[in-house]
Amino acid sequence: MIKRILVGIDTSAHARTAQSYAFHLARRLGATLIGLHVVDIVSIEGSLLHDISGSLGLEPYLDFSSRMREVLNARGKAVLDEFAHAARRERVAAETLLDIGVIANQICDRAKAADLVVIGHRGVNERFSTGLLGSATESVARKSPRPLFVSPIRFREIAHPLLAYDGSDRAARAMRAAAELCATLATPLTVITAARDAKLGERTLAEARAYLAPYPLKADFHLIPGHAHEGIIGALKQFDADLLFVGAFGHSRIIEMVLGSNTEYLLRNAPCPIFMSR
């Protein structure tokens, strides 16, 4: 049961949408929110700032770093004050935390005391990232000790979730999370299995039917032919899904570097939030 939700807070549009999803879930689940803002140590002590401070004649560097720290701390406190005010307006119980360090590391460390982590698809430093996924988000997706909810830039109330189930242990944990959340939210659940072997796919769907049968929710099941990552994205569009439940990274980092990762593909291309279970 989800009762403590950690949400990453900054000034980006993605983070504000993540906050909206966190409020939505907290109200429906009766959960407490923990708003976390991390002052990025790289922004204070990174080599880029060192080069800039030298070129601008700001000496000594340590004094420049100290002043930058003060500015970013003050900005972080203001962001968290705004979050706390919004939580009171939404009548959601909330706490706030201000950390300094590497963003992904701090989020994962604080996640140990939460049931779910909610973050935006990209953060305030998105202009320094490559591709369509923020580097901090990708790192948290790989290292978070708790389930992760990654939100897109636009909020949409959760009403038609979809579970991608492949029979793996991680997918089984995603199925349990989907069953519990959908039963609580009183939403239906669409379950898909993407497989090139129809018989294997039907057996996998049969496992899901048997598991979900005792839950008080309406579920429908579909076999999607072809490759998993492409099939899942197509199914999200076909069924107009507004949330995807999926197991997290399923291979070693070395294998993923060579073959690519279905999870990373979904994070970069899904048109809706992703709930990732480990």
What local confidence, expressed as pLDDT, does residue 26 receive? 97
> Of 133, 59, 70, 143, whose CA–CA distance to 100 is shortest?
70
Rounded distance, CA 4 to CA 33, Å? 6
Residue recorded with tokens 């839950």: 215
Specify the pTM. Answer: 0.87
Q: Please determine, looking at this structure, whether the domain spanning 161-277 carries the CATH number 3.40.50.620.
A: yes
Domain with CATH 3.40.50.620 in the chain: 161-277
* SS3 annotation, 148-215: EEEECCCCCCCCCEEEECCCCHHHHHHHHHHHHHHHHHCCCEEEEEEECCHHHHHHHHHHHHHHHCCC
**Helix, strand or coil, per DSSP, at residue 277:** strand
Profile the chain (278 residues) by mean pLDDT over runs of 10 residues: 95 94 97 96 60 47 69 93 96 96 95 97 53 71 93 95 94 96 97 92 96 97 89 95 86 43 84 93
Question: What six digits make up the tokens of 128?
Answer: 């320094």
State both tokens at 88: 């009171």
Architecture of domain 4-151: 3-Layer(aba) Sandwich (3.40)
**Four-residue CA torsion sign, 234, 237, 239, 242:** positive
Q: Which DSSP state fits 23?
A: H
The pLDDT score that the predictor gives to residue 190 is 98
Q: Is 235 helix (H, G, I), strand (E, B) or coil?
A: helix
- In the prediction, which pLDDT does 250 show? 54
Please, are residues 123 and 153 in contact by the beta-carbon 8 Å criterion? no
Residue-level pLDDT at 256: 46
Give the distance between the most distant pair of CA atoms in the chain. 69
Q: Provide the token pair at 178.
A: 């989907």
Provide the pLDDT for residue 128.
Answer: 39
CA distances from 50 to 42, 73, 76, 278 (A): 11, 19, 22, 38
Strands 274-277 and 148-151: antiparallel
What the block records as the tokens of 186 is 């009183």
Per-residue model confidence (pLDDT) at position 66 = 80
Domain with CATH 3.40.50.12370 in the chain: 4-151
Measured CA angle at 119 (ends 245, 101), to 5 deg = 135
What pLDDT does 46 receive? Answer: 56
Asked whether 276 and 170 are in contact (CB, 8 A), the reply is no
User: What pLDDT was estimated at residue 1?
Assistant: 85
- Residue 208 is predicted with a pLDDT of 98
